[in-house]
Amino acid sequence: MIQPNYIGGEWRHASEAIANINPSNTNDIVAHYAQATHADVQDAIDAAATAFPAWSRSSIQLRHDILKGIGDEILARKDELGMLLSREEGKVLADGIGEVVRAGQIFHFFAGECLRLAGDRLASMRPGVEVDITREPVGVVGLITPWNFPIAIPAWKIAPALAYGNCIVLKPAELVPGSAHALADILARAGLPAGVFNLVMGSGSVVGEAILRSDNVDAISFTGSVTTGRKVAEACVASDRMKKMQLEMGGKNPLVVLDDADIELAVGCALNSAFYQTGQRCTAASRLIVTDKIHDSFVERLIDAMHGLVVDDALKPEASIGPVVDQRQLDQDLRYLRLGQEEGGRLACGGEVLARATPGFYLSPALFTEIDQTMRIAREEVFGPVAAVIRVKDYGAALAAANDTRFGLSAGICTTSLKYASHFKRNAEAGTVMVNLPTAGTDYHAPFGGRKGSSYGPREQGRYAQEFYTTVKTAYTLPA
Ligand code: ADP
């Protein structure tokens, strides 16, 4: 059975489908998913555009109730949906379930936000004139999502889009259509008018491009690689109506460890930041910038802790890390492992392809030492369980190294010094700063996004999501 697309309120079959393969066991096919054609995408966009006038003026109570219902169902089915997610993406089951819970909470948060959208009223320069500032929905939004958070990222784009009255065309990543399809099934039964939400599965080059090139799409929210992000930006600017855009892309996030750090806490932060979820989080730390005096003991204890990580089938309860997502990503990780050594780094631990009971893309977490900031392993995003330790002499050098990157998503520091913590919070060039916490792991009610080459456009999540999913109107009235 092929899982269909959802277009204009109906499930639509396609002649082509792809198999969704479990990276923990490549003999296990999760299901087959329809690949949308160019014409399917056009129909989805037309359906969204047709639904927009009514949905954009719909009752906020109705929107609240629908979003609340979606959140309720996601939470009620967290175990089953978490299992599906872990099966298709390869993160361990506890993380899969945790991500599903997060998605449910996001829908609940934005159910409340439907009722809280506010405007402003100003006095005018001209006596008797009223100035009203209101927020209106943007229109048809194209949501293009990556494989590493198969339900949370679609949720944190869909929920605010609906809350503020937009219509949606969602294109999930080819590798993980299952979670997005399950979410679409919940949305299809939630009471949304036909066309408000559409799911088109397929490749970036067909489905993604068709969304980008359409003149009937008003805005694009994209999460993925830097290379694709740039293409998205170019297409948005080139289109007749200059699509609004929001891009979340890569990172090369630093975690600074100072001499005065609580070493146990620092090792825990590094282990989590660099290796949990197989290092496949855009907020993962891949540069551990460590001051001289603590360097050797930190590295020794981190390697000890790495030996305690169990790499295995994501569905096994004892697994602390699942497989890499696919062969292409594994090849990339292995390329960087070779490159790091060729550049003069020392592979101090891990980096081995592992055999397990089932065929999968298993890689032991890898730690490089003797890395400096000029090496490619310290500058380019690997997106795997690979971290590099960079030795520096003091806090000043650590901050300079932390900021010496074209990215700026998340930056962490482990220190017991209030002085250095405060200075780092102010001076780290990143959208998110973590003090004595892992670089990954954010709250859903707080804004998320980065600086420099990591992000473009307004922040996602929390109240700040309204910057992207609404457009401001200023009305001047002379009550005559
Ligand atoms: P990754 O390398 O991590 O898969 P991508 O940036 O390639 O990251 O993918 C993120 C999302 O962008 C996916 O849904 C993918 O299908 C989509 N995508 C890839 N290429 C294009 C493109 N040319 N136009 C639009 N979307 C694309």
Task: Mark whether 422 and 460 lie in a shared domain.
Answer: no
What percent of the chain has a predicted confidence (pLDDT) above 70? 100
Residue 448, domain member (yes or no): no
Interval between CA 428 and ligand 1 midpoint (Å) = 29
> Is 159 a residue whose pLDDT tops 90?
yes
Nearest CA to ligand 1 atom 13: 173
And the tokens for 64? 């609240």
Binding site membership of 174 for ligand 1 (Cβ less than 6 Å): yes
Q: Which among 453, 147, 190 is positioned nearest to 280, based on CA atoms? A: 147
Task: Mark whether 158 and 259 lie in a shared domain.
Answer: no
Is 282 noted as a catalytic residue in this protein? yes
Residue 449, domain member (yes or no): no
- Average the pLDDT over 449-469 and give the result: 97
Task: Mark whether 31 and 118 lie in a shared domain.
Answer: yes
For 249-280, write each residue's pLDDT tens digit.
Answer: 999 999 999 999 999 999 999 999 999 999 99
Binding site membership of 173 for ligand 1 (Cβ less than 6 Å): yes
Which of the four pLDDT bands, split at 50, 70 and 90, describes residue 348? very high
For 48-81, write each residue's pLDDT tens digit.
Answer: 999 999 999 999 999 999 999 999 999 999 999 9
Binding site membership of 145 for ligand 1 (Cβ less than 6 Å): yes
Is 80 noted as a catalytic residue in this protein? no
Model pTM?
A: 0.98
For 93-126, write each residue's pLDDT tens digit.
Answer: 999 999 999 999 999 999 999 999 999 999 999 9
For the beta sheet containing 253-257, the strands, ordered from the edge strand earlier in sequence to the opposite edge, are: 346-349, 366-371, 386-392, 285-291, 253-257, 410-414, 432-435
Q: Please, are residues 74 and 158 in contact by the beta-carbon 8 Å criterion?
A: no
Task: Report the distance separating Cα 408 and Cα 450, nearest Å.
Answer: 5
Residue keyed to tokens 């995003």: 381
Task: Mark whether 228 and 152 lie in a shared domain.
Answer: yes
Q: Is 458 left (phi over 0), alpha (psi -120 to 50) or beta?
A: beta
Residue 318, domain member (yes or no): yes
Identify the three-state secondary structure at position 452. helix
Residue 447, domain member (yes or no): no
Task: Report the distance separating Cα 233 and Cα 235, nearest Å.
Answer: 5
User: φ and ψ at 416, to 5 degrees?
Assistant: -100, 5
Binding site membership of 212 for ligand 1 (Cβ less than 6 Å): yes
Q: Which among 328, 323, 326 is positioned nearest to 365, based on CA atoms? A: 323
Task: Mark whether 258 and 242 lie in a shared domain.
Answer: no
Q: Please, are residues 47 and 6 in contact by the beta-carbon 8 Å criterion?
A: no
> Is 1 a residue whose pLDDT tops 90?
no
DSSP secondary-structure letter at 207?
A: I
For 160-214, write each residue's pLDDT tens digit.
Answer: 999 999 999 999 999 999 999 999 999 999 999 999 999 999 999 999 999 999 9
> Which listed residue (269, 282, 349, 414) is catalytic?
282
Task: Mark whether 178 and 76 lie in a shared domain.
Answer: yes
Residue 98, domain member (yes or no): yes
Task: Mark whether 243 and 276 lie in a shared domain.
Answer: no
Closest atom of ligand 1 to 225 CA is 6
Query: Could you tell which of 207, 228, 325 is best to mutate to test the pocket of ligand 1, judged by most ligand atoms within 8 Å of the CB?
Result: 228
Binding site membership of 381 for ligand 1 (Cβ less than 6 Å): no
Binding site membership of 205 for ligand 1 (Cβ less than 6 Å): yes
Residue 114, domain member (yes or no): yes
Residue 394, domain member (yes or no): yes
Please name the residues in contact with 408: beta carbons below 8 A apart, sequence gap of 6 or more.
251, 429, 430, 431, 450, 451, 452, 453, 454, 455
Query: Could you tell which of 144, 277, 278 is best to mutate to test the pocket of ligand 1, judged by most ligand atoms within 8 Å of the CB?
Result: 144
> Is 227 a residue whose pLDDT tops 90?
yes
Domain of residue 313, residue span = 253-435
- Average the pLDDT over 363-369 and give the result: 98
Task: Mark whether 416 and 361 lie in a shared domain.
Answer: yes
Nearest CA to ligand 1 atom 25: 208
Task: Mark whether 68 and 217 lie in a shared domain.
Answer: yes
Binding site membership of 27 for ligand 1 (Cβ less than 6 Å): no
Query: Considering the chain, what is the average pLDDT of its residues?
Result: 98
Please tell me the predicted confidence (pLDDT) of residue 460.
98
Annotate 335-355 with b (16+ C-beta within 10 A) or e (fewer).
Answer: ebbeebeebebebbbbbeeee
Q: What are the beta bridge partners of residue 472?
A: 135
Task: Mark whether 383 and 468 lie in a shared domain.
Answer: no
- The number of domains in the chain is 2
Interval between CA 297 and ligand 1 midpoint (Å) = 41
Binding site membership of 225 for ligand 1 (Cβ less than 6 Å): yes
Q: What are the beta bridge partners of residue 337?
A: none
Q: Residue 26 CB: number of other CB atoms within 10 A?
A: 15
Residue 445, domain member (yes or no): no
Task: Mark whether 309 and 353 lie in a shared domain.
Answer: yes
Identify the CATH number of the domain in which residue 183 sits: 3.40.605.10
Task: Mark whether 32 and 171 lie in a shared domain.
Answer: yes
Identify the CATH number of the domain in which residue 321 sits: 3.40.309.10
